[in-house]
Structure formats: C-alpha cells, structure tokens
A and B are shown apart, each in its own frame.
Chain A
Amino acid sequence: MTVDSDVEPGRPEAIKAVPVRHPGRWLGAAVILVLIAMFVHFLVTSKALEWPEQWKYLFSDPVLKGVRNTIWLTVAAMIGAIVFGIVLALMRMSENPLLRGAAFVYLWFFRGTPLYTQLLIWGAIGSLLPTIGVGIPFGPEFHTWKTQELVNVALAAALGLILNEAAYMAEIVRAGIQSVDEGQTEAASALGMSRLQTLRRIVLPQSMRVIVPPTGNETISMLKNTSLVVAVPYSELTFTAQTIYASTYKIIPMLVMACLWYLLLSSILMVGQFYLERYYARGTSRSAEARQRIRFRGGGGGQ
C-alpha cells in the first residue's frame, strides 16, 4: 500500500517494473572508453607530437600573425560574401530575365570550378588582366592602373574567397527568402510599405531563421578554407606553419599546432552561431520553456 492509494482510494498502484537491460550499450561504452584511453596514451607518450616544440611556437610572433590573417580573411570573406550573396539572390529572383540569367551564369562558374583553382588564377591575375581602367566600355579610358599594384596578395586572397563564397551564400539567401510566407509580403504591401522596407524589415529578418544555420556552417568552413589562399600565395596560419617546418623539419608538431588554433577559433564560432540562431528564432515558439528546450537540443553541436 502506497501513500497515494490511501489518499485516493480506487487508484491503481504506480507501476514498478524491472527496466529492460541494454548489454549492447554497456559493451559500446566499454569499447569507446578503451579507445579514449589508447588515444590519451598516444597523445602523452608519442615522440612525434613534440609538445614542447609546439608550445614554443604556439604564441610566437609569426604564428600569431598567421592567426590574425586567418581571422581577418574569414571575417572579410564572409561579410563580403553575404552582402554580394544577397545581391545575387535578389538578381536570381528578379523579374528581369537578363538579371536572372547573369546571376545564374555567375553561380554556374563559381560553383562549377574548384576554389583552389580560382585562387591560383587570382594569384596570376596580373597576367589575366594586366591593367584595370576606368572609362567608357569599348571607348576611351580615363585612368588606368597596373593590376599588380592595385590588387596585392591580401586583396587577391580576400576577393578570391568572397567571389567564390558569394555564389554559395546566394543560394542560402534565396532559400531563406523563399521560405517566408507570401502573406507576409502581402500584409506589408497592404500597409503601404515599400519593397525595400518589406525586404529589410519583414522578409529578411524572418528568412534569417533559415539563413543563419547554414551561414554558420559556411563561416566555419571558410575559417578552414582560408588555408587555400596559399595558392595566391598569401600567408595565413597553415602557410605560416609550413614556413616554420620548412626550416625546422618539425612537420607534425607544427601542423598539430595549427589544428589547435583552428579548433579554438571554430569553437568560438560555434558559440556565436548558437546565440545568433537563438536570437533569430524569437517569436517562433509559444513559451519560454519551448525556447529552453530548443537551447538544450541546439546546444549539442553547431554543425
């Protein structure tokens, strides 16, 4: 007899059943634990990792400069790509077939060729376009610059990443804008809002819920893709690691050290992505508890 049934006569006894055993789970856990132990043992005892050597360079000036370049390239490339991507997305949804076509051809080229190859071309941009001028198309030019002087390696690296990423961002933005219910645009129009106001105040904020998660992934990808600007060649984190081991021959320690930096930076990005997603999800759940649940589920991983 439980207390409950004393209070509420007639109510059946609460169920106390023997739970189902899961030997498979215990076996799996044991395997994982052994693997973790082996890995930790490897990290501690491996001669190849040379932790002191890594520590020596982790905060050295050349490495910090490489980290700085990786960060600004990631930030500049994503900002540029988002702005240009919005323009491309609007072009793709335009009623003007020429704008639509132009955006399509752009996407076709930049998504259809490897980023590394594009960056190699940016490295040789001087031979593709020896000069850049301002003037009347097919007519006289008012001023002409040597491309080599105008586009230095840093700018070439950034432009290469921006133009490539913009093609992907355009598709993400387009999917986001199209995910917003047509009734929203109609309601805004009916209130007398202009098309630009409707886009900026009503459609884009709502499309953010669809745009932010893949954009977060793109940003984390971009962080790592910056290592490809070695093709230009522009010196960032991976390139710096290579430069160091070219003279010290400590290849694995330097590459692992670069990985540690990338992991730190991408972890920071994942935290930022989580808060951004939560911000743009406002107004979509009924209660504070529901938001809490989303937080719990969404906190697991940013990818």
Chain B
Amino acid sequence: MNVQKDPAGERSSADTGPMVKAEQVHKSFGRVEVLKGIDLEVRRGEVMCVIGPSGSGKSTFLRCINHLEKINAGRLWVNGHLVGYREKGGKLYELRDREVAAQRREIGMVFQRFNLFPHMTALDNIMEAPLRVKRQPKAQVKERGLALLERVGLADKAQSYPAQLSGGQQQRVAIARALAMEPALMLFDEPTSALDPELVGDVLEVMKQLARDGMTMVVVTHEMGFAREVGDSLVFMDGGVVVEAGTPRDVIARPQHPRTQDFLSKVL
C-alpha cells in the first residue's frame, strides 16, 4: 500500500512520514539503465550513507532526489511531496520550473566539486539564495550567513573568494551555503572525494556536527569511518540496485551478499 499518495500535491503525511521514500526508481541515460528499481526510505533525522563502486548509480540516485535528474519509472517522495510531478486522477503532470525550484528549497545539496560561485565571496555565496530566492531581509541574511561561517569554522574567511580558499574550506562554505536555505534534508555527493587527505577531517567534522544536530542526511561517500561512526544506516549499491542495506555495524562487520563482501574487502 502506498500511504504517501498525495493527489493534490499537498503534504499528506508531512512531519511524520519518511523524509525520503523511493519506490522502484528507474533511471536511464539513453539506452544505459543506471538505476534499475531502487526502493528505500530515509526517516526524519536519519543519516544514511550510500556506498558502492563507481558507476553503481549512487550519485545518480542522489541527483534524482532533488530532481537534477528526471526518473523514468517509479515514484520518489521528499517530505511527503512527489518529486518533480503532480499526480491527479491517476495521471502524472510535470511540475513547472518554479514548482520544481520550490521543492528544491527544502533540499540542500553538497557536490563533490564544491561548485561555489567563483565570482562571489564566501559570504555572498551563502547569502545569494536566501536573498534572491526567499527574498529575506539583507541584515538578517547577513547575520545568519556569518553565524553559519562561524559554525563551519571559517568566520575569518567571509570576504575571501573561493579561489583563495583550500578545497576543504571551499567545501565547508558549500555546506554553509546549503544550510542557509534551512533545508529539511541534506544530500552529500562524495563531499570529500576531491579533497587532499589532510583536509578531509575538517569537512567530516562539520558533517558530524550537523548529524548530531538532528539533520536528515543522505551521504554518498567512500569514507567508511564516517559511515560507521555517524551513519544510522548504510546502503550498498551496485549495478543500479540496492544490494544490501542495514545498520553500518552489521553491513560492514557481517556483509551478507558476496558483492558487498568483495567491495568492502577492497575499501576497508
């Protein structure tokens, strides 16, 4: 049974149901099927880590959650809203650009390559969306922007341009930028993969703090230590399907599936 069916696009089970719910999500690029039926749920406040070999579809799935990629089959809900579509009378209607944009405001995303806006200072990067999208008053946005920079340990870098920051500092600014929109869900797409090893720790520390504060997070990562320590659940994907899911302790210590065992033996 599908409890989340929300015919009018309104929140039917918001605040109680799962934050993310995927049912048989399929995604193809041309003739290559990258996701072959993903079913999973992320509860409110849960930190879900997604691991798997490259090409397993984990990043694609993450991008489907905020509709950067359109799914070809199945259903995907975030916070009780059907992602990218409105269902009415058994038919699906594509959402307009502005409706998609409104959905994305609930979802923060952190990219592997940071994607900070290089022509803006760190503070301006953080202030841009609250100012332009939410049209909040400038003084308030600035105050919160500075507070966020402080929270990620970069209070002194407000006026620095991204090119003047290290990779780890850029990624922390990117996290602050996503948090400035006060999202209900944070998506992390291999946030530490592009960083020099000695810079990984600072970024993970910020993410741990975020998890402790109760943020719902889906983290595609190769950091097994982070998954074990911070993750509430661990999902192993391969070949476009969820091969194995469970608590990080169980999956890492006692992988059931041979493909999981094989992958873990290589990364641990």
Residues of A within 8 A of B116 (CB): 187
B68–A183 CB distance below 8 A: no
- Contact stretch, chosen from B5-13, B46-54, B70-78, B97-105: B97-105
A282–B119 CB distance below 8 A: yes
The residue that B107 contacts in the complex, of A190, A194, A205, A287, with Cβ under 8 A, is A190
B133–A283 CB distance below 8 A: no
- Which residues between 174 and 206 of chain A lie within 8 Å of chain B, taking CB atoms? 181, 183-184, 186-195, 197, 201-202, 205-206
A191–B128 CB distance below 8 A: yes
Residue A127 interfacial (CB < 8 Å): no
A-side interface mostly? helix
A192–B104 CB distance below 8 A: yes
What's the tally of chain B residues with a CB closer than 8 Å to chain A? 32
Q: Which of A187, A189, A206 has the most CB of B within 10 A?
A: A187
Residue B152 interfacial (CB < 8 Å): no
The residue that B68 contacts in the complex, of A186, A194, A280, with Cβ under 8 A, is A186
Q: Which of A190, A283, A285 has the most CB of B within 10 A?
A: A190
State how many angstroms separate the Cβ of B58 from the closest Cβ of chain A: 17
Residue B178 interfacial (CB < 8 Å): yes
Binary contact readout B175-197 vs A (1 if CB under 8 angstroms, 0 otherwise): 00110010000000000000000
B161–A191 CB distance below 8 A: no
Residues of B within 8 A of A21 (CB): none
A193–B133 CB distance below 8 A: yes
The residue that A286 contacts in the complex, of B66, B105, B120, B163, with Cβ under 8 A, is B163
Residues of B within 8 A of A190 (CB): 66, 68, 104, 107-109, 111, 178
Residues of A within 8 A of B133 (CB): 191-194, 197
Complex CA gap A125/B126 in Å reads 53
Residue of A nearest to B116 (CB): A187
Residues of B within 8 A of A284 (CB): 118-119, 163
B161–A282 CB distance below 8 A: yes
Residues of B within 8 A of A187 (CB): 109, 111, 115-117, 174
B101–A189 CB distance below 8 A: yes
A186–B115 CB distance below 8 A: yes
Q: Which of A181, A193, A195 has the most CB of B within 10 A?
A: A193
Residue B40 interfacial (CB < 8 Å): no
Binary contact readout A198-226 vs B (1 if CB under 8 angstroms, 0 otherwise): 00011001100000000000000000000
A201–B128 CB distance below 8 A: yes
Residue B162 interfacial (CB < 8 Å): yes
Complex CA gap A193/B109 in Å reads 13
B118–A206 CB distance below 8 A: yes
A202–B117 CB distance below 8 A: yes
B107–A283 CB distance below 8 A: no
Complex CA gap A193/B130 in Å reads 10
Residues of A within 8 A of B174 (CB): 187
**CB contact under 8 A between A193 and B101, given known A284-B163, A286-B163, A286-B164:** yes
Residues of A within 8 A of B113 (CB): 183
B181–A283 CB distance below 8 A: no
Complex CA gap A291/B260 in Å reads 51
Residues of B within 8 A of A192 (CB): 101-102, 104-105, 129, 133, 181
State how many angstroms separate the Cβ of A191 from the closest Cβ of chain B: 4
The residue that A183 contacts in the complex, of B102, B115, B129, B161, with Cβ under 8 A, is B115
Task: Please list 12 pairs of residues, one from A and one from B, whose beta carbons are closer than 8 Å in the complex, sorted by A's number.
Answer: A187-B117, A189-B68, A190-B66, A190-B109, A191-B104, A192-B104, A192-B133, A193-B128, A193-B133, A205-B119, A283-B119, A283-B162
Listed in ascending order, the chain B residues whose CB lies under 8 Å from chain A are 66, 68, 97-98, 101-102, 104-105, 107-109, 111, 113, 115-121, 128-129, 132-133, 161-164, 174, 177-178, 181
